[in-house]
Amino acid sequence: MLNWVKFISAFLFALVTVIVITVFYNANKPIATVKDTAAEAAVRSGQIMTVDAIQPYNGTESMVTVFGVNQDGEKVAVFVNEQDEKNFQEVKLADGVSKEQALQTVFKEHQVDKVLHVQLGIEENEPIWEVAFKNDSGKLNYVYILFKDGEWTKRILNL
């Protein structure tokens, strides 16, 4: 009888493990597909030759930011919008503030406990860095830093 209990326990544990892995795999499949499609579209457009990183951005419009190198050897970010598959905006990373500079701007003005993400995207036709963080009281905050000059454009604090 004890062997049956061990067998059933082991079987149920294995079954639950397989189900959990399957659910997580299927939950991540759509975003992986969107990232791959965006990278292929950016390369096909000729704006980027090699892909270094891919980052989804969900602002006013959802898009995927593809980081890489263009044909001139410059590091660029291409903003791939699913609605407009031909005309992608592009910025040269050397022409604006870096991710680290955007973070420093936030650190100067706010008590940051934990940075959740820093993502490059577009709001109102301007490239921006979206910095999401938790402050020292555990509240969620978003600060939008202009890519061109490092000034903040919008802050959503203490959510």
User: Tens of pLDDT along the chain (159 residues)?
Assistant: 778 888 899 999 999 999 999 998 888 787 788 888 888 888 988 889 999 999 999 888 889 999 999 999 999 999 998 777 677 889 999 999 999 999 999 999 889 999 999 999 999 889 999 999 999 899 999 999 999 998 888 898 888
Residues 10 and 88 in one domain: yes
Q: Which residues of 116-128 are buried (b: 16+ CB within 10 A; e: fewer)?
A: eebbbbbbeeebb
Model pLDDT, residue 31: 79
Tokens of 27: 């939950």
Model pLDDT, residue 134: 95
CATH code at position 24: 3.10.450.40
Structural domain for 14, as ranges: 2-93
Q: How many structural domains comprise the chain?
A: 2
pLDDT 10s digits, 65-88: 999 999 999 999 999 987 776 778
Residues 19 and 81 in one domain: yes
Model pLDDT, residue 4: 86
Residues 104 and 78 in one domain: no
Residues 82 and 150 in one domain: no
10 Å Cβ neighbour count for 17? 10
Residues 75 and 42 in one domain: yes
Please identify, among 44, 70, 93, the residue that sits at the C-terminal boundary of a domain. 93
Whether 125 contacts 63, CB under 8 Å? no
Model pLDDT, residue 38: 87
Residues 6 and 26 in one domain: yes
To which H or E segment does residue 130 belong? strand 126-135
Model pLDDT, residue 91: 93
Model pLDDT, residue 115: 94
Q: Interior CA angle at 60 toward 36 and 98, to 5°?
A: 70
Residues 25 and 103 in one domain: no
Q: Which residues pair with 51 in a beta bridge?
A: 68
Binning the chain into helix, strand and coil, the percentages to the nearest 5 are 35, 40, 20
Nearest alpha-carbon partner for 129 in 144, 112, 113, 110: 144
Residues 46 and 86 in one domain: yes
Residues 26 and 57 in one domain: yes
Tokens of 77: 């970010």
Q: Interior CA angle at 44 toward 42 and 47, to 5°?
A: 50
Residues 88 and 29 in one domain: yes
Whether 71 contacts 49, CB under 8 Å? yes
Residues 69 and 103 in one domain: no
Residues 79 and 126 in one domain: no
Q: What is the pTM of this model?
A: 0.79
